[in-house]
């Protein structure tokens, strides 16, 4: 299966492995179990509404985000999880398949600093049940991500 996220990686000549699983419920922890990878390596791609903009926060599936820390890291006063319909509208992906790779709008990306210490990360490729594993440095470079302490 090819997705916009996989296309972005191919166009940028970024080495990656496609990992597919049978999707039946939303959840990065479920995805980690389904593909047999550690939860610390499999990302949640979360969309937040920050003041008058949207942004991505990428964090390990077994961690939680501090909205206050996201605000501090990005210079926003009001940060809340985006409504699912808004996340789908700005990314062009369905919940359960949201990714900064190939998203409809290029949003700012923040990667949790503890998560960024992993040499490789697994992220949704833009389709439910389709993930990619790639070097953390490549993900940060491709998404122009900032790395910050955003963990609750």
Higher pLDDT, 27 or 6: 6
Instruction: Locate the domains of the chain by residue range.
Output: 4-148
The mean pLDDT value for 27-40 works out to 92
Minimum mean pLDDT among 1-5, 61-65, 85-89, 132-136: which range?
1-5
CATH topology assigned to domain 4-148: YbaK protein (3.90.960)
Long-range contacts from 90-97, C-beta under 8 angstroms, 24+ separation: 90/47, 90/54, 91/47, 92/4, 93/124, 93/126, 93/127, 94/128, 95/26, 96/23, 96/25, 96/26, 96/128, 97/3, 97/124, 97/126, 97/127, 97/128, 97/129, 97/130
pTM of the predicted protein model? 0.94
Tell me: pLDDT of 25 over 80.
Answer: yes
Residue 1: is its pLDDT beyond 80?
no
Cα of first residue to Cα of last residue in the chain, in angstroms, is 35
What pLDDT digit, counting tens, does each position of 85-110 carry?
A: 999 999 999 999 999 999 999 999 99
Write down the mean pLDDT value for the chain: 95
């Amino acid at each position: 299966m090819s997705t916009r996220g996989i296309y972005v990686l191919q166009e940028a000549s970024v080495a990656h492995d496609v990992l597919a699983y049978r999707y039946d419920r939303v959840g990065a922890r479920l995805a980690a179990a389904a593909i047999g990878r550690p939860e610390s390596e499999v990302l949640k791609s979360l969309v937040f509404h920050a003041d008058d903009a949207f942004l991505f926060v990428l964090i390990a599936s077994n961690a939680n985000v501090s909205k206050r820390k996201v605000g501090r890291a990005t210079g926003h006063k009001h940060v809340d999880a985006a409504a699912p319909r808004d996340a789908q509208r700005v990314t062009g992906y369905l919940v359960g398949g949201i990714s900064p790779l190939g998203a409809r709008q290029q949003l700012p990306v923040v990667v949790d600093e503890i998560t960024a210490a992993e040499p490789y990360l697994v992220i949704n490729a833009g389709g439910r049940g389709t993930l990619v594993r790639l070097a953390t440095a490549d993900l940060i470079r491709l998404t122009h991500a900032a790395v910050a302490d955003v963990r609750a």
